């Protein structure tokens, strides 16, 4: 099976309207920038996007929000995106806010073939409304279901032509578990090497989970929040 495609547009060309997508990354770190840009250009609509956060107004998933291509957003943190806030408050965008640990476990469970699990997180809050509850050792838990995504789109530091992936630093937060959970997994990498070019002991995602891979271009190293101190005589 030839997994290598030339560019992002080729990797996402058959993703239809109304698809459910997992998109890796944490903040603006490790996000599949090239694929997001290709989805914007493709113009598909009605997307349900599962991601830790929704990017910022002009970058990451914020670009898909600007073009109204996302129908529903499932995330744990959305505080850096004004357009997201506007669409949510106006009722244009359906939003499912999930505790970060539950979000991670629902993704991991999907990749592990576990249909559902019980967790105490969210009990007694709006998150628990309409969900089954059971007590374990006297502690109430709520039932959470694994995510089912048509496509998982991830970003890795290095990959080989067989789809084996290595992530760097914070990019390991959600990308590895999403790569296991999509029906079809698309990986963009900063560096693509021939099969055998990666140290097997360093691989985070085995190639069996990846169906398409390409070397991305023009990656930005953005800082989501920059905090500085006023200049003084001492600095």
Answer whether residue 145 shows pLDDT above 80. yes
Looking at residue 235, its pLDDT comes to 61
Confidence of residue 217 (pLDDT cuts 50, 70, 90): very high
H or E element that contains 20: strand 20-23
CA 59 to chain centre: 14
Could you tell me which residue, 25 or 225, shows the higher pLDDT? 25
Looking at residue 117, its pLDDT comes to 98
In the chain, what are the domain boundaries?
8-116+147-215
Provide the CATH number for the domain formed by 8-116+147-215 in this structure.
3.40.1080.10
In whole angstroms, give the CA distance from residue 17 to residue 218: 27
Exposed e or buried b per residue across 5-24, where buried means at least 16 C-beta atoms within 10 angstroms of its C-beta: bebbbebbeebeeebbbbbb
Confidence of residue 221 (pLDDT cuts 50, 70, 90): confident
Residue 92: other Cβ atoms inside 10 A: 13
**pLDDT, tens digit, for every residue of 112-130?**
999 999 999 999 999 999 9
Confidence of residue 28 (pLDDT cuts 50, 70, 90): confident
In whole angstroms, give the CA distance from residue 55 to residue 63: 8
Coil, strand or helix at 96: strand
Average pLDDT, the chain: 93
Q: What is the DSSP string of 131-182?
A: --EEEETTEEEEEEEPP-EEEEEEEEEEEETT--EE--GGGGTTHHHHHHHE
**pLDDT, tens digit, for every residue of 34-51?**
999 999 999 999 999 999
Coil, strand or helix at 75: strand
In whole angstroms, give the CA distance from residue 38 to residue 141: 41
In whole angstroms, give the CA distance from residue 29 to residue 18: 26
Residue whose tokens read 């929000």: 65
H or E element that contains 212: strand 212-215
Looking at residue 234, its pLDDT comes to 67
Residue whose tokens read 């670009």: 63
Pick the closest to residue 22 from 113, 151, 145 (CA basis): 151
Confidence of residue 69 (pLDDT cuts 50, 70, 90): very high
| 71 CB-side CA count, 13 A | 10
């Amino acid at each position: 099976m030839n997994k290598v495609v030339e560019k992002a547009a080729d990797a996402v060309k058959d993703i239809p309207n109304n698809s459910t997508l997992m998109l890796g990354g944490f903040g603006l770190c490790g996000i599949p920038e090239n694929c997001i840009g290709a989805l914007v250009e493709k113009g598909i609509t009605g997307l349900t996007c599962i991601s830790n956060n929704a990017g910022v107004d002009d970058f990451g998933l914020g670009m898909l929000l600007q073009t109204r291509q996302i129908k529903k957003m499932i995330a744990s943190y959305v505080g850096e995106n004004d357009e997201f806030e506007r669409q949510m408050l106006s009722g244009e965008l359906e939003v499912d806010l999930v505790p970060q640990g539950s979000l991670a476990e629902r993704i991991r469970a999907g990749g592990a073939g576990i249909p559902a699990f019980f967790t105490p997180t969210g009990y007694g809050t709006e998150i628990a409304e309409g969900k089954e509850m059971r007590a374990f050792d006297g502690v109430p838990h709520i039932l959470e279901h694994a995510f089912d995504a048509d496509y998982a789109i991830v970003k890795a530091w290095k990959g080989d032509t067989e789809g084996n992936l290595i992530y760097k630093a914070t990019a390991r937060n959600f990308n590895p578990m999403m790569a296991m959970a999509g029906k079809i997994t698309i990986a963009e990498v900063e560096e693509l090497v021939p099969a055998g070019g990666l140290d097997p002991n360093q691989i985070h995602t085995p190639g069996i989970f990846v169906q398409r891979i390409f070397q991305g271009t023009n990656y930005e190293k953005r800082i989501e929040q920059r905090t500085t101190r006023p200049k003084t005589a001492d600095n």
